[in-house]
Amino acid sequence: MAKISCLKAINLACHEEFARDPKVITIGESVGKKGGAWGYFAGLTDKFGENRTLEMPIVESAFCAFACGATLAGWRPIVEFMFADFVTLGLENILNMAPKQRYNSAGKNSCPIVYMLPQGGGMSGCQHSQSVEAWMSNVPGIKIVAPTFPGDTKKYLQASIRDDDPVVFLFQRTSFGLSEEVPDDLAVPENLLNASKVVKEGKDVTIVAYHRALLNCIKAAEEVEKEQGISVEIIDPIVLRPLDISKMVASVKKTGKCLIVHEAYKIGGFGMQISAEIAENALSDLKKPIVRLGGKEQPIPFGIAGEKYMYPSIAEIKEEIIKLAK
């Protein structure tokens, strides 16, 4: 058991998977000696050699195409993007090629690629701070993983690397330093199904959230419980596609009230899919309409003050919890 950060969790997962499978490689900008833009590939080149940490020019479309081709030769690429916002430059291969490779080959070829996308707020302005999960959620054949805590980050990254289909692996940049105790022998899930978990048990209101919004929801729930006596249950979906709704539905059947929170824009955000799934499976159990909180409908401003305005705050989350609980 050791206390590790999310950044360290990513690094450990990569080292363990590189040692486990000689076909795992990294592709991206500065992924060699520097260890990638954020340092989570640190030490891989020294330990496993330059042939497995392939540095690419700043041409996302090219190295995403390279990754698709590499899978046909038996490799399992981890593709790094400096910022999730730049994923638009590689979408032809991420959405139009990789997810169809198995189908187009009648099941003969798999496409085991992990796309590493650091996303969300972090005082980097409107073109470097977006949440992109919903942009890619409407394509069969691709999986979307969005862990928050170090233990989940480590084990679900390892599961993603072992998966035979393309996986978009999203993580919140501002949570790199978030730390917790993680077992040395942490078990890796056999697949990316049934991933959601109850982070906090409660009986009055259900919250579904992930990434930094989840951390704010935990703080808000603790405060309203202390101040108002409202008991909040919090669900972390972890894997957004395929989405495990079982715990969400069970919780809503118990509380009758649901709040969904994320940093992405409310309109078109992934919370719409979660809301639809809950409505389809637990509509008769809802005592009040589902409430969604998301980013304000404008480009993301640069700086601390702008981001505080932009994203759902602890105070805003508390206000909605109290309204639902009445």
What confidence tens digit (pLDDT) does each residue in 26-69 have?
Answer: 999 989 888 888 888 999 999 999 999 999 999 999 999 999 99
Half-sphere exposure of 65 (CA within 13 A, CB side): 7
Question: pLDDT confidence of 184, banded at 50, 70, 90?
Answer: confident
Query: Which pLDDT belongs to residue 1?
Result: 78
pLDDT at residue 123 in the model:
67
User: 306 pLDDT exceeds 90?
Assistant: no
The whole-number pLDDT of residue 121 equals 77
Residue intervals in the chain for CATH 3.40.50.920: 197-325
Which strands, in side-by-side order, build the sheet including 143-145? 53-55, 24-28, 76-80, 114-119, 167-172, 143-145, 239-241
Q: What is the pLDDT of residues 87-146, one digit of tens each?
A: 999 999 999 999 999 999 999 999 999 999 998 877 677 777 788 999 999 999 999 999
All CATH 3.40.50.970 domain ranges in the chain, comma separated: 2-182
Question: Which architecture, in CATH terms, is 197-325?
Answer: 3-Layer(aba) Sandwich (3.40)
Q: CATH number of the domain at 2-182, please? A: 3.40.50.970
Model pLDDT for residues 307-321, shown as the tens digit of each residue: 888 899 999 999 999
Distance, in Å, from the CA atom of 321 to the CA atom of 326, rounded to the nearest integer, reads: 9
Q: What is the pTM of this model?
A: 0.95
Nearest to 220 by CA among 237, 201, 204, 234: 234
Annotated catalytic residues are: 128
**In contact, 148 and 236? CB cutoff 8 Å:** yes
User: Token pair for residue 278?
Assistant: 């809950």
The CA–CA distances, whole Å, from 17 to 162, 195, 285, 300 equal: 8, 20, 44, 36
- pLDDT, tens digit, 9 for 90 and up, residues 141-167: 999 999 999 999 999 999 999 999 999
| pLDDT tens digit sequence for 73-87 | 999 999 999 888 889
